[in-house]
Structure 1
Amino acid sequence: MRRVIGMDIHRTFGEVVFWEDGRLRHGGRVDMTRTALEGFGKSLLATDEVIIEATGNCMAVSRVLSPFVKRVVIANPLQVKAIAHAHVKTDKVDAGTLASLYAAGYLPEIWTPDAATERMRRLVAHRYQVVRHRTRIKNEVHAILHAHLIPKCPHADLFNVGGRAWLARQPVPDD
């Protein structure tokens, strides 16, 4: 007997629905903690397939549940929304939709990276955020100079050694 488990995951809990031979059965809620997910994973069969949507914590949920089941599939939420038009939208309905679409072969899933690729993605994303933050701060400094009618820096880069020395001599308010 084939079992597909749909999980509508959120920050603090996941709603579980079992699809078994074309029938849906509510499985309750699981807390989104490692301990609770491991306990849930131990209650599953090695032949089960778990379906979740791509969210902020889906990779962590996938890593915890993967050792206990045949497969954890991460669905593309935008494509799932386009396929499944539910008039009633609840967590149970969403979890059941995920399980039913997968069981029917209609689930649009995303590619799941290996651990090394996932780590590299996190590093690249963090670097991108740091660079954006640095750019915002530099733009803010330029705006302060402009607001106080201070002419353009004579150095090629306001933020190299010469530019910072010039900046320190400019008459700007302490705040």
Structure 2
Amino acid sequence: MQIVGMDIHRSFARVAILEDGTIIRQLRVDLVHDRLVAFAKTLSLEDEVVIEVTGNSAAVERILRPHVKRVAVANPRLVRAIAYARVKTDKVDAGTLAKLHAAGFLPEVWVADEDTSSRRRQMAERAGVLAQIIRIKGRTKAILHADLIPPYKGYLFGKRGQHWLDSLPLPSEERAMLWRLIVELERVTKQLSEIDKVVAQQALDDPRLSS
């Protein structure tokens, strides 16, 4: 069995391969999907990979997982504290990660399974779409405020609100801007509805909710 330490950066990873307590190989792997897959295929189902939590570590873990025995993901702050206590250095590289894991000193974190990761991505997308809706509505109201038009007393973004917008004495360029915002709002609101349908169906299909 080999222990593969990976010091992950934004676009590449430094790799150290530990076998029987000795670093037998070091290399650099570009963090591009195809190249990372090619590297993963050089490993075996007996090997273990060690990485730290970073902005792109989830993607690295997901790609490597099918090709090795396991991928251990570590808490970077605790790794540095433990490394300093053991070897008196706060520099944590790929070799240090591999050695800490081999010695049983690696402070691991929980790694979400693929289903949980997928749901997280969906909720992040939903939050982004919702932020777009809020931004569009805010810009629409700002146009009306700049033209000294008092707030609509009903729901501005429904059919009655749109009829009310049609009747307002606005400059032609601002009216055009307003309706571009309304069209964009309809498009983004439809996206939100589609996401909500998928999320709701997943909840209905989740066996944990019926137990």
Q: Which amino acid aligns with 1:166?
A: W
**Greater helix fraction, Structure 1 or Structure 2:** 2
Tell me by how many angstroms 1:28 deviates. 1.0
* 1:119 and 2:118 are equivalent in the alignment: yes
% identical aligned pairs? 49
Name the TM-score, length of structure 1 as normaliser. Answer: 0.78
Quote the Cα distance in structure 2 between the aligned partners of 1:136 and 1:106: 47
Tell me by how many angstroms 1:99 deviates. 2.1
* 1:63 and 2:44 are equivalent in the alignment: no
Tell me by how many angstroms 1:120 deviates. 1.4
Tell me by how many angstroms 1:153 deviates. 0.7
Match of 2:206 in 1: none
Structure 1 pair 171–53 and aligned structure 2 pair: CA distance change class (3 A): farther
**Greater RCO (Cα-Cα under 8 Å, separation 6 or more):** 1
Match of 1:142 in 2: 141
Quote the Cα distance in structure 1 between the aligned partners of 2:83 and 2:168: 61
Quote the Cα distance in structure 2 between the aligned partners of 1:146 and 1:108: 54
Aligned length: 170
- Structure 2 gap ranges (5+): 175-211
Tell me by how many angstroms 1:78 deviates. 4.5
- Structure 1 gap ranges (5+): none
Given candidates 159, 162, 168, the residue that maps to 2:160 is: 162
Which SS does the other structure have where 1:16 is aligned?
strand
Quote the Cα distance in structure 2 between the aligned partners of 1:83 and 1:143: 53
Which SS does the other structure have where 1:17 is aligned?
strand
Tell me by how many angstroms 1:84 deviates. 4.8
Quote the Cα distance in structure 2 between the aligned partners of 1:172 and 1:97: 66
Quote the Cα distance in structure 2 between the aligned partners of 1:34 and 1:140: 39
Matches within 5 A, 1:24-63: 24=23, 27-63=26-62
* 1:18 and 2:13 are equivalent in the alignment: no
Structure 1 pair 94–150 and aligned structure 2 pair: CA distance change class (3 A): farther
Name the TM-score, length of structure 2 as normaliser. Answer: 0.67
Structure 1 pair 168–107 and aligned structure 2 pair: CA distance change class (3 A): farther
Which SS does the other structure have where 1:127 is aligned?
helix
* 1:108 and 2:113 are equivalent in the alignment: no
Quote the Cα distance in structure 1 between the aligned partners of 2:26 and 2:161: 63
- The two structures, once aligned, show a CA RMSD in angstroms of 2.7
